[in-house]
Amino acid sequence: MKNIVILISGGGSNMAAIVHAAQRDHWERVHGARVAAVVSNKPDAGGLALAREQGIATEVVEHKRFASREAFDEALAAAIERHQPALVVLAGFMRILTPGFVTRYQGRLLNIHPSLLPAFPGLHTHQRALDAGCRFAGVTVHQVTAELDYGPILAQAVVPVLPEDTAAALAGRVLTQEHLIYPRAIAQLLPGLQDN
């Protein structure tokens, strides 16, 4: 079985979109793949309850309990490894990962970022796009490398910037596209993944 482990920090809307797509498109039967676990760095992350409702294993590795990023990432990797991942998917996971962690999962660690990378890495992407006068914004699914919001691009979706847009309005339209392209990008990778 190709186990997918999803990392979240909040409400888990992208995680829910991935779980829904896996069920709707029968990933287990078609690709031998399933969402095996959801791991969060925050015990109150809303997405944990959503995962439990779907019968998916959940774990919490609270980053505040660790003295260093390295110690947190080691504990996080231990939690992930319990589920024998073929793929690790960051879905609103708001922690910068150490190079050692990224190297450990190289080639099977994905992230989604709310801009058309390489434009606007980091935070406040929607406001920065508006401030720059962009006519288009969007979202990128990419493989994770040690450099923040960088790595081979797997999928992008473009969203027009409207004259009356606020950062919140633009973010809402971008999020709709995130929910469509993230599951699609994962599904395209599944045939090439190794079984555990």
Domain ranges of the chain: 2-192
Q: Quick check: 195 pLDDT over 90?
A: no
Q: How confident is the model at residue 196 (pLDDT cuts 50, 70, 90)?
A: low
pLDDT tens per residue across span 166-189: 999 999 999 999 999 999 999 999
Candidate list 83, 113, 126, 142, residue with the active-site label: 113
Q: Please list, residue by residue across 162-182, b when 16 or more beta carbons sit within 10 angstroms of its beta carbon and e when fewer do.
A: eeebeeeebbebbeebbbebb
> Distance between CA 78 and CA 166 in Å, rounded?
41
Q: How many Cα atoms occupy the beta-carbon half-sphere of 145 within 13 Å?
A: 7
| pLDDT tens column, 141-172 | 999 999 989 999 999 999 999 999 999 999 99
Spatial CA neighbour of 113 closest among 86, 137, 87: 137
Average pLDDT, the chain: 97
CATH architecture assigned to 2-192: 3-Layer(aba) Sandwich (3.40)
- 113 a catalytic residue: yes
